[in-house]
Each structure stands twice: as C-alpha cells, then as structure tokens.
Structure 1
Amino acid sequence: MFRKLAESEHGRMFGLGKRTELNVLVLRDADVIAAGVRSALAEAVPGERPGLERAAALIERAFTVPDADLRARWVHERLARAGHEGPADSVEAIRTLRQAEPGLSLRAAVQLSKDAAAYRP
C-alpha cells in the first residue's frame, strides 16, 4: 500500500536528499493484519486452524519484504497497467510512469525506474 507524501518527507524516506520529489511511501499493515489473524486463530475451531496458520505464515513473510522490493513492484504494476512491456528504466518507461502518476517528478521517476530495473523477484 502506498500514499502520497508532503514534499518535506520525500528525502527522508528514500535517502535521496531534500530536493527530490519522490511521492511514494511504503506503508505496511502486515502487523495489524497479523494480529487479526492471530486473534482469529486463538478462537478457531480445529477445521479452521490450518488455513489460519497458513495465512499467518504468509503475512509474516510479507512483512519481511524489503521496501525497495515493494517500490519496484509498485513501478512494475504501474507500467503493466499502462501497457508498457519494455525495460523498466527506459525513457518510454519513465514517461509512462510519470503519466500514470502525474505528481511524480522526473528525478523520482528516473530513480524508481532504475530501482525497478534492478529488481529481481
């Protein structure tokens, strides 16, 4: 999940300096979701337990995914929705990303595109 940031927050999240206009912040709700599943697991009947235990394990794994991977997936999702099939760090990809996310600066789009191109799931 992502949200738009105020300009003053941009550099701190991504370590790119104050002048970078990066508008993406990774938000993690896995801890809240995991607590809900654990609560349901505590009250579960035996037939529900295996599914809830599996769900809890998946949530725990999702919580450990690095922010850089989440940002890269976000870029790839935006590019795919826009129909871009080429390299994530091409000029066309950067243009497509900025069209998909109009508030994204050129500098931020370039950095996100480079990071997405380096991403290996």
Structure 2
Amino acid sequence: MFGITKPEVQTIVVRDADGIEAAVREALEGATPEERAGLERALAIVRDAVAVPPERLRARWVRERLDVAGVTGPADSIAAIKALRQAAPGLSLTAVVELATSAKAVEASADRA
C-alpha cells in the first residue's frame, strides 16, 4: 500500500570512549615518569574499547541482560526475548527481537572464529 513501509528499528550505541581516550592522552602528556607506564597501558585499553564495533557492543548488552536473568540459551530464544522485554520494558518487541537476532549472529560468528 502507498505510504506504508516496514518500520525500521534503530538502536543507538552511546559510548564515552572517545572522550576518555582524549583525557588519558592529555594526562599522558603531562605525566611523570612514574605515571607514564600506567597511563600508556590505560590508553591502550581505551583504544581497544573504542575499536569495538557497535554490533558487538549491542550483543554484549544483550548477553549481560540474559546472564542476569539466568538465560543461558540462544539470544533469540523465546525465553531470551521475554527476559530482554523485562530488562528493558521501554524497548518495543520489534527492537528486542532485532537486538536478540543480531546478538545471536555476533555470538555465532565469534564461535566460528
């Protein structure tokens, strides 16, 4: 029908890693020799966090909620969908299903790697 389209679900990943990276870099510039090694290690950790793609962050978010709920099966199972709906009641069923499906795909690709 004209004007009716499938609604797209958009889940935004918000992360502060860029700001944290800048703060650690700034601290490193003025660091004493004693502080330097620790700040260099912290900067490496933050850079690793910045490099994590959004789909992996969403999959981790899903799995964390499922772990809290005691769901150990596939991320897109009925039990998982129910647990995610309870953990995040503000999300629509469509959003939860897309998050769960994406999480399962990420977990499957990690298993193959």
Name the TM-score class by shorter chain: 0.7 to 0.9
Letter in 1 for 2:44: A
Deviations 1:9-57 (A, max 9, x none): xxxxxxxx872455x4211211110111111111111111111001111
Query: How many pairs are equivalent?
Result: 104
Root mean square deviation, CA, Å? 1.7
Structure 1: gaps of 5 or more residues: 1-16
One of 37, 53, 64 as aligned partner of 2:24: 37
Identity of aligned residues (%): 55
Higher helix share: 2
Task: Indicate the structure (1 or 2) with the bigger Cα radius of gyration.
Answer: 2
Letter in 1 for 2:7: R
Between the aligned partners of 1:95 and 1:20, the Cα distance in structure 2 is: 21
Letter in 2 for 1:71: R
Q: Tell me the TM-score normalized by structure 2.
A: 0.83
Between the aligned partners of 1:107 and 1:36, the Cα distance in structure 2 is: 38
CA contact (8 A) 1:86 1:93 kept: yes
Tell me which stretches of 4 or more aligned residues in structure 1 moved more than 4 Å: none
